[in-house]
Chains A and B, each alone.
Chain A
Amino acid sequence: MEHSMNTPIEHENREAIIQELMENYGTAILHLVYSYVKDAALAEDLTQEIFVKGYHHLHTYNGTSKMTTWLWRIAINHCKDHLKSWYNRKVTVSEQEQLEQTKDASSTEDTVIQNHVDHELAAAVMDLPEKYREVIYLHYYEDLSTREMADLLKKNENTLKTRLKRAKDLLKKSLGGTL
């Protein structure tokens, strides 16, 4: 996946790179996006847009960081742009409603068979405010260190450490002190 960007990438090559990225990381990006927008159909749309964007922005990949970091950054920015956008603020008020529905559906069908899986935890994480959900997700789901997160999010590492601590406090509170 390491490409040198000294020469412009040929067209066929660009398509092959995007294909490869989609095959290897498509689902991971979809999950990442879902963790921001909490809506399956929307997450699918945004993920597709992210890869189209990646195709047009391949030249911004400078070859020094990992290509996954570059892709994750595009994805995260795209999600944040969407959440900040006029359209999202005005149009998708029903998001919370949908989340409640999916929560209901999954909890009824799975309670019996999956006692060992921590549904409560998953739901509590998804209910966190965005900036806390983000660090919990990247740290505990994607296994990124605070340093890697700092690089990815272009934030101070200490800021993220504080945020992570605060996020865990919030989780502890919502889960009744049992974290």
Chain B
Amino acid sequence: MDKRLKKLKQALDDTSFKPLTFDQGHRNEVMKKIARQECTPEHIRLTILQLLVQEETGYTLAGKIRSRGIQAFEDDQGSLYTTLHTLEQKRCIQSEWREDGRKFYSLTRKGRKLLKKYESSPDKPQVLRTLVEAGQI
């Protein structure tokens, strides 16, 4: 009884599935889509929150942002500080001058909470949209 169904794999592979291959072009497309999503301003702000789980100076932070493949600040380091300032005004992060003259950035409690909400959600893009619309991030 199952005999004929045993040949289902071959039958489908030889008919409907024959032209269907997920090739290099498709894979590149996926990576491009991922990269595109990761480079919107709100995604960059989110990335900064993720990185500031531990405190960083603007300089070390810039390095880590770059190593994540985000090039938005490459030609314009100044705009990183604008973004940091925005996040500080939204009370997601705080900064502190040290005696050696370096300024350290870190998450506030609010920032930590927002990040946790995002990280634990099954639908991250949706959470990000909601946070952005609510002006929280």
Contact = CB atoms under 8 A, between A and B. Distances in A.
A, B bound: yes
Interface of A: 8, 11-12, 15, 18-19, 22-23, 26-27, 29-31, 34-35, 38, 40, 43-44, 47-48, 51-52, 55-57, 59-60, 102, 106, 110, 114, 117-119, 121-123, 125-126, 136, 140-141, 168, 171, 175, 178-179
A116 B70 CA distance: 54
A110 B5 contact: no
Contacts of B23: 26
Contacts, number: 114
B29 interface: yes
Given A11-B69, A18-B30, A52-B34, A102 B4 contact: no
Interface class of chain B by DSSP: helix
Contacts of A31: 12, 17, 20
A168 B5 contact: yes
A19 B21 CA distance: 15
A106 B22 contact: no
Which bracket fits the contact residues of B? 35 or more
Interface string B3-30: 0111111111011111111110011011
